[in-house]
Amino acid sequence: MFTKTVLIRRKPRLLVIGIVLGILAALAFSPLLLGMVMMTIEEAATGKNVGEHNSVWGVLPWLTIGTMVIFGGPLLIVLKLTLLGLFYDAIFIVLKRKKEKIYSNDLD
């Protein structure tokens, strides 16, 4: 059953998964990040305390509810599959080391 690792020791796969997770997280939290950054810039420029009650950008973080619905599910699915793959690889490595240890003891 355990013949090869799925993710560990395969850097291109890990890189692609990392990029996909990063993009999905950025899309899921984009209204929140954009709203907070723009309110911070507005607050620095005007010197006034800025919130959702007195800024156009203050309403934007509420749209995160919608983007979370769209991109949060795929993000969690990819994250769970990645963790499952890493768990599989950890079991594979442990079993391989145990097998190598048993064979090396037989030769002694």
Q: Which candidate, 13, 23, 31, places its Cα nearest to that of 75?
A: 23
pLDDT at 1 (0 to 100): 62
Average pLDDT of every residue of the chain:
89
| CA torsion, ordered 51, 47, 45, 27, to nearest 10 deg | -20
Q: What are the sequence ranges of the domains in the chain?
A: 11-78
| CA torsion, ordered 71, 76, 81, 87, to nearest 10 deg | 150
Spatial distance between the Cα atoms of 100 and 95, rounded to a whole number of angstroms: 9
Spatial distance between the Cα atoms of 5 and 86, rounded to a whole number of angstroms: 9
Q: Per-residue pLDDT averaged across 18-39, rounded? A: 95
Record the pTM: 0.78
Task: Extract the tokens encoding 1.
Answer: 């059953």
DSSP 48: S
